[in-house]
Chain A
Amino acid sequence: MQFACPHCGPRAQGEFTYERTVDSVVPLDAVPEAAMATLFTRNNPRGDDEEIWRHTFGCRAWMVITRHRITNEITAVRAVGPDAMP
């Protein structure tokens, strides 16, 4: 695949590592039961999902990539992190 890094432009997938899905993120203030439910279940759709990737072998920034799980079509890339805060 090829990802459009918000900081570096289009780069080969080999520069990136997949970390987790957005729906796996446990908010720090989640109550235990909800936290474990979030950690241990996924939507895992046969379609678009929001994934957290890191440009590990590039700028190292984290980003959210919306990708189709069958066609690999990428419909959105969003920067995250302190610099991307509103």
Chain B
Amino acid sequence: MINFTFDGKTYQAEEGDTLAAALLRNGIGLVGRSFKYHRPRGIMTAGVEEPNALVTVGEGGRSEPNTRATDVFVYEGLVAKSQNRWPNLALDFGAVLGLAAPILSAGFYYKTFFGSAKRWMFYEYFIRKAAGLGDAPTQADPDRFSQRAAFCDVLVVGAGPAGLSAALEAAEAGKRVILVEQDAILGASLIRDPQTLNQAWIDATAARITALGARILMRTTASGYWEHDLVTLTQRNAEPGQVPPTGIAQRLWHVRAGQVILATGSIERPMTFANNDRPGVMLSQAVRTYVRRFGVAPGKRVVIATNNDDAYKTAHALREVGAEIVAILDARPEISDVARDAQLKFRVHTNSLPISTKGAKHCLRSVEVDIWTERVVYVADLLAVSGGFTPVIHLHMQAGGTLDWNEAAQAFVPAKSRQNVTTIGGATSPDPIFAVAPVSDPTKSFIDFQNDVTLADVDLAWAEGYRSVEHLKRYTTLGMATDQGKLSNMAALGRLAEKQGVAIPEAGLTTFRPPYTPVTMGLLAGAGAKDGGAHVRRLALYDLHAAKNPIWQPLGYWFRPRAYPIGGETLAQAALREANAVRSAVGMTDVSTLAKFEVSGPDAAAFLEIICATSVSKLAVGRGRYTFMLREDGMVFDDGTVWRLAENRYLLTSSTGGADRMATHISYVRQYLCPHLRVSAVNVQEHYAGIAIAGPTAKAVLASLIGEEPPRHMSTVAAKIAGVPVLVLAASYSGDRAFEVYVEATHATPVWAALEEAVTAKGGCLYGMEAMEFLRIEKGHLVVGGEIDGRMTPHDLALDKMLNKAGGHIGASGLSRPAFSEPGRPQLVGLEAIQGNIPEGSMLVTAEGESPQGHVSAAAFRIVESGSIALGQLTDGFARHGEELIVTSPTRNQQARVRVTAPHFYDTAGARYRD
């Protein structure tokens, strides 16, 4: 025996019981409450289509709300709680909503609660509290979910007789086969109805399939059918709420199949009559399943209502376990052969229907029926119903299939598909039925049980003009519960067709979308749940930085040192000290993340003149220059430097943030636009580590290490530091004399160490990105993502004088568009505080209350002198130098007065970065 609890009380289950079977075994009929009216509900099915018996299973971060009691197998210690009731399941105050049902008709909320949005929110507060079903966990999930990709020749979905046979046949033909079954045991309908194919056949077939090397996945649902025969499988390693033995609760499979065989069977339909939702009303095949599979009889005195032959098997099954069959109500006016045989043992009525049920203590007590024209009441504790069969066509439809209408079964069956998928078995040939339009009180005749949608709701939607099947669904919420209409869709379509006066196929069908059954979010996320799927790239010199315990700054997938505080320094204090070192002596920083491309070949210069908006070809060997790149529409999208290392070999650098898109851009131009050029453009971003060294004594420091005169500004030389070959570029981002040293990333450590030692000896220090910001803002250099925001033209950024006059570069065509030269454009300016400090990101206004004319793209403090300075974009800013403006940040309650200046605050003569 297995112990479990339901609403705090301990019960015993048998090995192999679903929670539903175990509850029935313990005589528990009332399991849940419906969504809208809080009507008492029991167990209606024995499968994944269960709309009523929803419980929360498990505890803490492992608890799973809305778990179908029919789809969880009891394990030792399982904890289940009923939902959507207060104070308890039997006495639920929410049930008063049922009394208001005549008011709360379909779409009632569209017709009331008027007034202001605030007023609606008042009502909404109560609606939200009443809605929902179970409680979500509030803790993080302690378990993991894994994902796996697989390939096979044949994927078989469903391990009933058809699926098992198909899997065996494919395996015998030497195919790679995967067979999946959502249940915990194989056999599907054979478990309920063992005949010639019995348990022995199931076991033997499964053994042969496995022996042939095929894979059988139990407790695995094919939940989504995607493009090109990709099927997602969700596999349970542990039951809901159970501690998984391996730590992995579920696994998501992406299976690319050569062929997919769907042997998914069908789902039995309920019947539509008044109070058909009462605990004790159960699908006929479900009753049989509980009797035959679990050895539990869900009732002692049973009425069976059917419109087909299948339900007679239920009568026999119940009789075998000693239940009393009060009557069999057969909707068909003429007696079938099966019914005639049954008459020998049972009271069978033709042309008879259930009209309503009555209950006591939330259990079924009696069934009111119409037999021909006579109204009769039967006392019964179980009503088994069979309204026909709905083939499980979900995957076929997700795959983009078409349907045929099977008139005898009143059911859609799979027809064609544009993917390589075939449906076999019961889903292709549902049993014939005799369809009867519902006749009893429509206001109590439920079709969507969970969402409490009745026939009257469908009728109202129709009367109000919501006549397309999609309008009907959306207006009434039909088919939108956790079972996604598995039980309700056909009943609704039947009513809709009746109203339209057409056959069901003409009434339309809603789209089938993944998933077939609800899928745990953690499973979809997999390992990505931890960090949102974002990876981190680690600097080559990471360990050296980490040893100094810097403040890190995220930048895309990189983390770079923002500052290296000493003692109790704040970020700003550290950054100012570091920047001061650069201005007064020397500092060094890691610039490894810059984008870097090595461009070589006879057409290298021609290629670069397409990529870069500045001229490149006139560059002498050993020289470099600033450059920028345009997007195809003419906007500036990146900048950097280009260096001619040899006759036909160049190094191009650009921003860290734009590195990936620049790599794609360069690849596009090379591979697609200019395949004819004799050029190689290789992304060497992570091949080289980069170290910048800047300050008045940078040259002396470098000279001592490379043993020769360092290159002059915008020149390059190959050298060695600490015995390691390096490339030295003389370029300044900071505004002081500066160099960038590039070294193969795997050999960067000794170079960094040698530089650090020399820098420290000269009274210098490391500096981080914050100091770099201070330095470049003071110098008026641009940054991608700041001043270069993708909306600025070369002219807006005062770069137009550097444009390659010859044109021919990407983006040149966009520059002649008229709006680029019209007044009113944002233009790059400097801002100098007259009063207060300038907040970064704040707005530029002429007077308080005016609409902004620009904004502050970057703000800093003068490094050596004091004062707040900034770069900004200002409408027609070039002509406004000297003008006084207000910068304002209402969200931060900050303001300053500023003067518009040129965007250069340091060494405007450009003397300090040259020798």
Contacts and interface: CB of A to CB of B under 8 A. Distances in A.
Do A and B interact directly, with beta carbons closer than 8 Å?
Answer: yes
A44 B586 CA distance: 56
Contacts of A54: 664, 667
A61 B673 contact: no
Contact of A32 (B667, B668, B674, B816): B816
Contacts of B676: 82, 85
A8 interface: no
A31 B813 contact: yes
Interface string B790-809: 00000000000000000010
A35 B632 CA distance: 9
A84 to B, nearest CB: 7
Contacts, number: 71
B96 to A, nearest CB: 50
B418 interface: yes
Contact of A80 (B254, B400, B671, B814): B671
B667 A71 contact: no
A39 B633 contact: yes
Q: Contact residue range for chain A? A: 20 to 34
B672 interface: yes
A29 B257 CA distance: 46
Interface residues of B, number: 28
Contacts of A80: 671-672, 675
B812 to A, nearest CB: 8
Interface in A1-45: 1-2, 12-13, 17, 19, 25-26, 28, 30-32, 35-36, 39-40
B813 A2 contact: no
Contacts of A13: 227
B361 interface: no
A48 B29 CA distance: 56
Contacts of B149: 12
Given A1-B228, A19-B664, A73-B418, A25 B673 contact: yes
A81 B814 contact: no
B817 interface: yes
Contacts of A25: 672-673
A72 B227 CA distance: 7
Contact of A85 (B667, B673, B675, B808): B675
A52 interface: yes
B816 A81 contact: no
A50 B230 CA distance: 23
B817 A36 contact: yes
B633 A52 contact: no
Report which residue of B256, B418, B610, B813 has the largest number of chain A beta carbons within 10 angstroms of its beta carbon: B813
A82 B418 contact: no
A61 B670 CA distance: 11
A65 B675 CA distance: 18
A82 B227 CA distance: 31
A28 B674 contact: yes
Given A36-B633, A40-B633, A54-B664, 18 more contacts: A1-B228, A2-B227, A12-B254, A19-B664, A28-B673, A35-B814, A39-B633, A52-B672, A54-B667, A61-B671, A62-B668, A71-B400, A73-B418, A80-B671, A81-B670, A81-B672, A82-B675, A85-B675
Interface of B: 149, 227-230, 254, 256, 400, 418, 610, 632-633, 664, 667-668, 670-676, 808, 812-814, 816-817
Interface of A: 1-2, 12-13, 17, 19, 25-26, 28, 30-32, 35-36, 39-40, 52, 54, 60-62, 71-73, 80-82, 84-85
29 contacts: A2-B228, A2-B229, A2-B256, A12-B230, A13-B227, A17-B664, A26-B632, A28-B610, A28-B673, A28-B674, A30-B813, A31-B813, A32-B812, A35-B813, A36-B633, A36-B814, A36-B817, A39-B633, A39-B813, A39-B814, A40-B633, A52-B672, A54-B664, A60-B667, A71-B418, A72-B228, A80-B672, A81-B675, A82-B675
